[in-house]
Structure 1
């Protein structure tokens, strides 16, 4: 069994993902895939359990939002858990529901709002748990040591259900898939590609065209996401380049290009003036160049700062890091 855990800020998008079919597939494509692989691509999601919530994605989103407001100290209020069985293994819906409950309990959201959903569009059975990290008491479920907890949970469930013990998730991948970069390697590659492209472009259309040339699909809305050639999706903010930051960098690049073009024109004008008044033209040229170099230095400095991504792979929400309290010695007064 392979487990996955992540947190996010968008309630609606997570609920949409677990409750709906893949958006990139048309109805014709779903039918064609179903005929070829004998899987269920249309209406792929079946809700196994609603816990302290109910309704469709819109109703669920409003309910989750209302409870999320009980805590103002975190932005990423959604917890996404998934479990995928090894090839050839099969469990009943009741067993899968119990697994979903075990997941919720292991991550401290058993009494929170969550839904457990079975997806039927893959050969291996797999479930998703979309949970609110904020409880009805306003307390937030921590995500510390999440990968370790998920690994321990998988090993425990494998023993309980008599499943194969997957000591390494990559064990059940094909030989080709094993050669693919790991998740973090993909992030590093995307980060480097964005960084290099931003250095070479000064407009959003040019940036998007060059990123597409590198094999990425761009999803732009309020934010920006990148999908690589293996359909792995990352938000720009995950690698330190949010849409706001990208637009800011491109704006500065445009300013720098405009300044350089202006400087070039001024040099041409100065050259023409120099034939009439050499000393005056030379003094004017020096002042222009000094002014340009000062502005160029400022813009280049800002660009350098912005092109350094904020992403770090070991990021932890500072709000979730509790400082240990110092123990008072006996007899000490307040």
Structure 2
């Protein structure tokens, strides 16, 4: 029997999922502490208990108990096992609901619990995975169920559901399984560290050690067929602590060979499993770097477009100003004397300033909005500004007189 645990902030989503399964006829309610099996009524009762600890965010606890296909127990026995599991995990004074599902190839239960008890106390989630395993092992013996080897005892990681499905489709073992076999064969010969590396590389396995500058090694990963696995992902027997006890290893003697093996591994193409050939996963710092680099690229592209638009406007300005300049009549922005004559130069022809303000700067509205100004570029007339200052100064003098 195995258990998958989830802790979260929301009770309603999981509750609705299980109630929908009941409505579809692929699940049933074995037991619950609520007075009604309706979603809204259950959530109202949950809300009342939550008031005892309103600051607690992750108050929801959900676990699924999974049995082997051959252990198709009666509802009553499964309900007893589920309640004993809850009591042993510390949920003896808490709201709960137990659902049995029939939508998989193995019998399983879904248990929804409020971590906040009726007395306001909260069940700690510290080391809850270890506690859950201990409870499961006791229940297996108590009820005569198939005993599952604990993760601490397991030397090899079992196939995942996806690996099993892929093996059915391709009729060949997964990369992880093939890697486990190859490494196990090399370890069975108990080679020296140098030979261990050489024999693995001869079979297409690149080794990456977590080596400090002092030469101390604290971990190991294996690259095979474009994928990179930490030793812990393959099983306890493939961790460095187990490997170094099998092979002949001395830190000072083997530090150069290990360093060179790391260089060869890092030269390999990046792994496909979400882990880089450098040994780190694509999550964390590496993923952040990629995202950040992408954002920087986007910003650079956006800035370049703006610079292009401004550059085009400047070129159009120079062209417009140079047109009149070819005839020796290039106007300045201060050529006009009256704001009523802004569209006409001294010869009665359209002025260069108007061309600059409206024709040579077709994107001036965009530039203005980016700069935060509320006025059109054509309104920024120095002569008009000077005239305004002169009149204001004159009015101020009159008031003082």
TM-score relative to the length of structure 2: 0.45
- Could you list the runs of 4 or more consecutive aligned residues of structure 1 that deviate by over 3 angstroms after TM superposition? 168-175, 177-182, 184-201, 252-260, 271-277
1:136 equivalent in alignment to 2:118: yes
Q: 1:78 Cα shift? A: 0.6
Render the CA deviation track for 1:158-210: whole Å, top value 9, x for unaligned: 1111111111576475663595999x988976889986996698xxxxxxxxx
DSSP-derived class of the 1:144 partner: coil
Counterpart-to-counterpart distance in 2, 1:123 and 1:107: 27
Kindly indicate whether the alpha-carbon contact (under 8 Å) linking 1:4 and 1:150 is maintained by their aligned counterparts in 2.
no
Counterpart-to-counterpart distance in 2, 1:140 and 1:56: 25
1:82 equivalent in alignment to 2:126: no
Counterpart-to-counterpart distance in 2, 1:60 and 1:186: 41
Render the CA deviation track for 1:20-46: whole Å, top value 9, x for unaligned: 229xxxxxxxxxxxxxxxxxx931121
Classify 1:186/1:261 alpha carbon distance in 2 versus 1 (closer, same or farther; 3 Å).
Answer: closer
Counterpart-to-counterpart distance in 1, 2:175 and 2:56: 34
Listed as ranges, the gaps of 5+ residues in structure 2 are 152-156, 168-173, 177-228, 234-272, 276-280, 323-366, 371-401
Query: Which residue of structure 1 lines up, in the alignment, with residue 50 of structure 2?
Result: 68
Query: Which residue of structure 2 lines up, in the alignment, with residue 311 of structure 1?
Result: none
Classify 1:173/1:253 alpha carbon distance in 2 versus 1 (closer, same or farther; 3 Å).
Answer: closer
Counterpart-to-counterpart distance in 2, 1:193 and 1:99: 44
Kindly indicate whether the alpha-carbon contact (under 8 Å) linking 1:107 and 1:143 is maintained by their aligned counterparts in 2.
no
Query: Which residue of structure 1 lines up, in the alignment, with residue 202 of structure 2?
Result: none
Counterpart-to-counterpart distance in 2, 1:6 and 1:16: 16
The match for 2:315 among 266, 271, 284 is 271
Query: Which residue of structure 1 lines up, in the alignment, with residue 6 of structure 2?
Result: 6
Counterpart-to-counterpart distance in 2, 1:255 and 1:119: 50
Query: Which residue of structure 2 lines up, in the alignment, with residue 96 of structure 1?
Result: 78
Q: 1:128 Cα shift? A: 1.0
Kindly indicate whether the alpha-carbon contact (under 8 Å) linking 2:72 and 2:107 is maintained by their aligned counterparts in 1.
yes
DSSP-derived class of the 2:313 partner: helix
Query: Which residue of structure 2 lines up, in the alignment, with residue 176 of structure 1?
Result: 164
What are the within-5 Å matches in structure 2 for residues 201-240 of structure 1?
none
DSSP-derived class of the 1:176 partner: helix
Kindly indicate whether the alpha-carbon contact (under 8 Å) linking 1:87 and 1:172 is maintained by their aligned counterparts in 2.
no
Listed as ranges, the gaps of 5+ residues in structure 1 are 23-40, 202-248, 278-291, 296-334
Counterpart-to-counterpart distance in 2, 1:253 and 1:140: 47
DSSP-derived class of the 2:124 partner: coil
Classify 1:257/1:167 alpha carbon distance in 2 versus 1 (closer, same or farther; 3 Å).
Answer: same
Classify 1:109/1:260 alpha carbon distance in 2 versus 1 (closer, same or farther; 3 Å).
Answer: farther
Counterpart-to-counterpart distance in 2, 1:180 and 1:128: 32
Counterpart-to-counterpart distance in 1, 2:159 and 2:303: 56
Counterpart-to-counterpart distance in 1, 2:102 and 2:121: 34
Q: 1:119 Cα shift? A: 0.5
1:44 equivalent in alignment to 2:41: no
Classify 1:157/1:132 alpha carbon distance in 2 versus 1 (closer, same or farther; 3 Å).
Answer: same
Q: 1:132 Cα shift? A: 0.6
Render the CA deviation track for 1:133-166: whole Å, top value 9, x for unaligned: 1112222111111111111111111111111111
Q: 1:123 Cα shift? A: 2.1
Render the CA deviation track for 1:102-121: whole Å, top value 9, x for unaligned: 22123322211001110111
Rg comparison, structure with higher value: 2
Kindly indicate whether the alpha-carbon contact (under 8 Å) linking 1:67 and 1:136 is maintained by their aligned counterparts in 2.
yes
Classify 1:172/1:150 alpha carbon distance in 2 versus 1 (closer, same or farther; 3 Å).
Answer: farther
Classify 1:186/1:95 alpha carbon distance in 2 versus 1 (closer, same or farther; 3 Å).
Answer: farther
Counterpart-to-counterpart distance in 2, 1:59 and 1:53: 8
